[in-house]
Amino acid sequence: MRVPVPGGAIAVEERGSGLPVVFVHGGTGTGEVDWAPVADRLSQRHRTVVMDMRGHGSSHDHEGPFGIVRFGLDALHVMDALGIPRAVLVGFSVGGNALLTLAARDHRRALALVTVGSQMRGDAAAAEHIVVGPWPSYLTGLEHEVGTGPEYWRELRNKLARDWVQNLALTRERLATIRCPALICQGTDDPLVTVAEAQEIAEAIPGGEVAVFEGAGHPVQLDQAEALVRAIEDFVRRRLALR
Query: Taking the domains of the chain in order of start, what are their residue ranges?
Result: 2-237
Give the model's pLDDT for residue 127. 83
Q: Which helix (H) or strand (E) holds 37?
A: helix 31-42
Q: Are 109 and 151 in contact (CB under 8 A)?
A: no
Q: What are phi and psi of 85, to 5 degrees?
A: -70, -35
pLDDT given for residue 208 in this prediction: 97
Would you call 71 helix, strand, or coil by DSSP?
helix
Domain covering 2-237: architecture: 3-Layer(aba) Sandwich (3.40)
- Helix 152-167 / helix 94-105 crossing angle, nearest 10 deg: 30
Averaged pLDDT, groups of 10, the chain, 243 residues long: 95 97 98 97 97 98 90 98 98 98 96 98 86 88 95 94 95 97 98 96 97 98 98 96 68
Round the CA-based radius of gyration of the chain to a whole number and report it.
16
Cα–Cα distances in Å, from 74 out to 47, 89, 195?
19, 13, 29
pLDDT at 12: 98
pLDDT computed for residue 152 by the predictor: 96
Residue 129, pLDDT score: 78
- Name every residue whose Cβ is closer than 8 Å to that of residue 160 and which is 6 or more positions away in sequence: 27, 28, 67, 94
Distance CA 94, CA 23 (A): 12
Identity at 25, one-letter amino acid code: H
Q: What is the pTM of this model?
A: 0.97
Count Cβ atoms within 10 A of the Cβ of residue 54 and give its class: 0-12 exposed, 13-18 middle, 19 or more buried. buried
Could you give phi then psi for residue 99, rounded to 5 degrees? -75, -35
